[in-house]
Amino acid sequence: MSASYPITPVNRLRRRHDRGRYDHASVHAILDAALVCHIAYVIDGQPHCIPTGFWREGTHLYWHGSSASRAIRQQDGQKICLTVTHLDALVMARSGFHHSVNYRSVMAFGTAHIVTDPAEKLVLMDRFVDRIYPGRSKLIRQPNAQEFKATTIMAMEIETASAKIRNTHVGDEEEDYATVPAWSAVYPVTQVLGEASECERQMPGLAFPEGMADFTPGIAFDVLMRRSWEKGLAPHGLYPDAAEEAAEE
Amino acid sequence: MSASYPITPVNRLRRRHDRGRYDHASVHAILDAALVCHIAYVIDGQPHCIPTGFWREGTHLYWHGSSASRAIRQQDGQKICLTVTHLDALVMARSGFHHSVNYRSVMAFGTAHIVTDPAEKLVLMDRFVDRIYPGRSKLIRQPNAQEFKATTIMAMEIETASAKIRNTHVGDEEEDYATVPAWSAVYPVTQVLGEASECERQMPGLAFPEGMADFTPGIAFDVLMRRSWEKGLAPHGLYPDAAEEAAEE
């Protein structure tokens, strides 16, 4: 049986228990299929919700920001909630009440902190690039002193988390199927990768990177991100639990 | 000149001013192209970030929830932040520092409240359905007493907001173009509508609704949502400022 996040008053689903999951495999699959999350944090009593790039290793989450950013400074040492949502479909039913969307989402709770160890930070900066596709960190120029200083890496151990999934069809009240003339359907919504627009100053003769074999136009972006995560990060787990969990899942 | 949201310590961009916008037209275009937002709110000092369906009318935002939901009860009368993000592209540069994404995002700040007037709530419930496409509320069954009671509509006047947009190409340090062998490109990422999966119990002979003329498989979901908003909600502004602003923009 897969490990699970503890169920506490913070993450326990009060409604639609049928859609809830707490096991690592379900939670991590949703997180690893995304590049962008939304983070809730508070400044002077005012909640803020900010989108940012992030990635997971084991039961830790990482994201980055400018060292000059107020958001980053405010998050350090504070409770936050990091949320990922994949919209999968519109669900159009015969009553407003049964209209819905199909989705996969995770809310992860913990305390954010700035990664202060320079060696750890440097590794993590590479890992963020390799999260796009395996091996990219070896192709790019490494950060110079100024870039290193200007970038902050944030970390959070997932104290608890919940996943919520809806992936079913139209479900109406029995009496509505035969009597309500509303054309009803599920419309998939998918984030897809388009055709690359190469940099006009591409180095002549440069080969398309091996690590980008999965970057085929039309591929679902969540599938691509999950594959990149599996190939680029999972085999080189920074934290011991990453490899264990990968095996377990 | 278009109206703008006031610039305050809450919404003022500290960084990347070049990417910031405060005018209604820019903020609203981003909001109206989305069906799903993320809302940050606080329960007992713990920030939460929750995805939900929403829509805009004038300078008001609306969303819904179960009347039994803790999230909804906690938001009532509280400051929140409602954020919309469209991921538009991956930007792969020659250094980690210049890796980025193209995106359009809005953070909107205000105080949430439950819509208590039954007549207003009923209208808003229809508007949420018409936000999917114009005229759907006339086709479906209207809410029964139990559904009406079980649904809560939340409203927020946008007190202030900011939009942030990146839509440029790879921008590297001058010395890196000729020396760093990292294949560099912008990869568009687009949310698209797929092929409808009709309800198996579709009423025989039911015509495809006129209001769904824009629901063609492959259409960008943000374009579709913006069109539905323009056709379904803009002409019937619930609040006086909606029509004025539509004209102004």
Looking at beta carbons, which residues of chain B come within 8 Å of A198?
183-185
Hey, of B141, B172, B221, which one would you mutate to test binding to chain A, going by the most A CBs within 10 A of its CB?
B141
Task: State residue B238's pLDDT score.
Answer: 62
Query: Residue B242 — pLDDT band, cuts 50, 70, 90?
Result: low
Domain contains A52? yes
Task: State residue A233's pLDDT score.
Answer: 83
* B210 contact A CB<8A: no
Task: State residue A19's pLDDT score.
Answer: 85
* Residue of higher predicted confidence among A244 and B108: B108
- The model's pLDDT over A129-156, given as tens digits with 9 standing for 90+, comes to 999 999 999 999 999 999 999 999 999 9
Joined tokens for residue B186: 């912008």
In chain A, the residue whose alpha carbon lies closest to the alpha carbon of B203 is A178
- The model's pLDDT over A4-48, given as tens digits with 9 standing for 90+, comes to 999 998 998 877 778 899 999 999 999 999 999 999 999 989 999
Evaluate whether A189 touches B192 at the Cβ level (below 8 Å): yes
Q: How far is CA A196 from the centre of its chain?
A: 22
Q: Is B149 helix (H, G, I), strand (E, B) or coil?
A: helix
Task: State residue A83's pLDDT score.
Answer: 98
User: How distant, in Å, are the alpha carbons of A159, B32, B45, B82, B183 from that of B37?
Assistant: 25, 11, 22, 7, 34
Domain contains A80? yes
Looking at beta carbons, which residues of chain A come within 8 Å of B45?
79
Mean pLDDT confidence for B121-145: 95
Domain contains A10? no
Show the CA angle centred on residue A147, arms to residues A145 and A151, nearest 5°. 120
Mean pLDDT confidence for B33-55: 96
- Answer yes or no: is pLDDT of B1 > 60: no
Domain contains A248? no
Q: How far is CA B104 from the centre of its chain?
A: 11
ipTM: 0.94
* B220 contact A CB<8A: no
Domain contains A243? no
* Residue of higher predicted confidence among A239 and B108: B108
Domain span including residue B73: 17-236
Q: CATH number of the domain that B40 lies in?
A: 2.30.110.10
Domain contains B40? yes
* Residue of higher predicted confidence among B18 and B226: B226
Query: Residue B143 — pLDDT band, cuts 50, 70, 90?
Result: very high
Average predicted confidence (pLDDT) for chain B: 92
Query: Residue B247 — pLDDT band, cuts 50, 70, 90?
Result: low
Instruction: State pTM to two decimals.
Output: 0.94
Task: State residue A106's pLDDT score.
Answer: 98
Which member of B14, B46, B89 has the closest CB to residue A79? B46
The percent of residues in chain B predicted with pLDDT above 90, rounded, is 83
Mean pLDDT confidence for B65-82: 91
User: How distant, in Å, are the alpha carbons of B69, B71, B77, B78 from that of B74?
Assistant: 9, 5, 8, 7
- Answer yes or no: is pLDDT of A195 > 60: yes
Q: How many domains does chain A have?
A: 1
* Residue of higher predicted confidence among B152 and B13: B152
Looking at beta carbons, which residues of chain B come within 8 Å of A41?
40, 47
Which member of A49, A140, A187 has the closest CB to residue B194? A187
Domain contains A6? no
* A18 contact B CB<8A: no
Hey, of A13, A46, A49, which one would you mutate to test binding to chain B, going by the most B CBs within 10 A of its CB?
A49
Which member of B40, B97, B221 has the closest CB to residue A147? B97
Which member of A172, A193, A200 has the closest CB to residue B189? A193
Mean pLDDT confidence for A170-199: 98
Domain contains B72? yes
* A221 contact B CB<8A: yes
